[in-house]
Chain A
């Protein structure tokens, strides 16, 4: 998912003595492989992850790692394991989260089996650094997203981001990491940008995987930046792993008028964010999800109602493995024209 493979690789390479294979970036071939072996009406992230798994198995991986989530994402790993075994691969699949909680016992056993010299204190130490790394990455990403549409020299943000991630992956203590983060934040702020005072602002909400994996939404954020739009996105790994419960509690409190009970996955957070974006007078909202995403389908009519109450334009994108890229571009352009005309 995006650049998050760097902290993940960092953590694993420091705590276990094993070779870590980074799967190749998702391409059309990955998606094709995944869709070929997936059930009929499963949601799209299943196809993407299955495709990635097949590709990394072909590169020689013997242990795969899968997370779990609040919707049917939690059940992915068991079916994927069966499908891959039916295809004749030999491997072990480690599911980190079961029943909504991290399965610490299972993780510990697995790590012990991979590396007998595993030291738990060392593991916790690097886990702490990784946690901070993700936090800093998300903070910088948030700044980048707001300003990348207005850069004077092309790719200056991207290049600096790459340089920063490269330096991040070589640190070995938390203080060092913090110093680096501060240094690069200053550098990011020094990048030349040409930002008008009243630029267009758009909030991006929706289902987590499609939001965070740039290939699966056809680089929608890049496309938006090319229109000179400031982008606000809430979903990131820091939110998913550490702030999820807090946000949902806050969401239920702040948007009482529209929702009473907690909904599956990020649906309740999305409803709250819609209200937040409307309150802050954003020019438009973009809702992205993969097709057949059940929690989001349930929340969409409510989001629609809030947006129409506040009179804020909203557009829905539903991505599947074979959505046409051109169609999405056209709709996005039309949406941009519309919000620009409303501004005037």
Chain B
């Protein structure tokens, strides 16, 4: 049996599922984003959708004939930790636009969902629970390691840049071409999505988006320790249009706001990044 995980949007928040399916012996199919997938997404999506959603739809269409089921959950963490409203319509969009078989769940109670999906695939309760526990242990270990590595970068003697963005943008292999440009220079990159959401309250009291909280608290935590901040946004991201603007207005650090639409020409980005790194190195 093959299960398709489209590598966009929710994928980066549901990594536990990959280990879970591996434990159960189910094959997981997913591809890195490439130009073909983006173009496929462009044909399905309407023109006003954001780049990340276009990529996601492209992934689902690309996986259509390559697996038995596609997993599309609705992430729901309650009213104080909302997701972008694009996450709410993922299942219904794919169900209506593309003729695919979808496994889905509403992510309020974690263990229940694992059992539900496992049973739909024909596994026994004991097997599922075992696999769930094992996958949680592996996932938590890896996350802890990554977080520690990320925070340790703050002690490095090089110039440090905090990269603020959503996981589905800064971890995407195709959009990463821009981040690769920064890596060419002799700077440490600290990722904002590996922080906890403890510090956002000092900057914004009313913030209610789960993953924007992480970004804002990473800025508050690293404010004094890094030399510059890079905001990485897909056009036209609803959350970032407000949150990033507020952060930019409240901090007094050099920052660079990268808004990406299509990746047709990287030359403009390259120049902007180069001059930004110059500013940091002279400071």
| The residue from B46, B209, B246 contacting A301, defined by CB atoms under 8 A apart | B46
Q: B-facing mask of A241-269, CB < 8 A → 1, else 0?
A: 00000000000000000111111110100
Q: Which residues of A contact B236 (CB under 8 A)?
A: 41, 292
Q: Which residues of B contact A74 (CB under 8 A)?
A: 206, 208
| The residue from B84, B243, B250 contacting A294, defined by CB atoms under 8 A apart | B84
**CB nearest to A43 among chain B residues:** B238
Q: Which of B28-36, B85-93, B162-170, B221-229 contacts A (4 or more CB under 8 A)?
A: B85-93
- Contact (Cβ within 8 A) B259 A40: yes
Is B249 part of the binding interface, using a Cβ–Cβ cutoff of 8 Å? yes
Is A298 part of the binding interface, using a Cβ–Cβ cutoff of 8 Å? yes
- Contact (Cβ within 8 A) B85 A263: yes
Cα A265 to Cα B238 with chains together (Å):
13
Is B79 part of the binding interface, using a Cβ–Cβ cutoff of 8 Å? yes
Q: Which residues of A contact B127 (CB under 8 A)?
A: none
**Contact A78-B205, Cβ < 8 Å, known A101-B79, A261-B91, A294-B238:** yes
Q: How many A-B residue pairs have CB under 8 A?
A: 115
**Tally of contact residues, A, Cβ under 8 A:** 43
Cα A39 to Cα B85 with chains together (Å):
20
Residues of B201-216 contacting chain A, CB below 8 A: 204-209
Cα A258 to Cα B96 with chains together (Å):
7
- Contact (Cβ within 8 A) A100 B249: no
| The residue from A72, A297, A318 contacting B49, defined by CB atoms under 8 A apart | A297
A293 to chain B, nearest CB (A): 9
**CB nearest to A300 among chain B residues:** B46
**Contact A262-B245, Cβ < 8 Å, known A41-B235, A318-B48:** no
Using a CB–CB distance below 8 Å, which chain B residues touch chain A?
46, 48-50, 53, 74, 79-80, 84-86, 88-89, 91-93, 95-97, 104, 106, 204-209, 235-239, 241-243, 245-246, 249-250, 259
Q: List 25 A-B contacts (CB under 8 A).
A: A39-B242, A40-B259, A41-B241, A70-B85, A72-B239, A72-B241, A75-B206, A76-B242, A78-B206, A82-B246, A82-B250, A100-B79, A101-B79, A260-B92, A260-B95, A260-B104, A261-B89, A264-B85, A265-B85, A267-B88, A294-B50, A295-B89, A297-B46, A297-B49, A301-B96
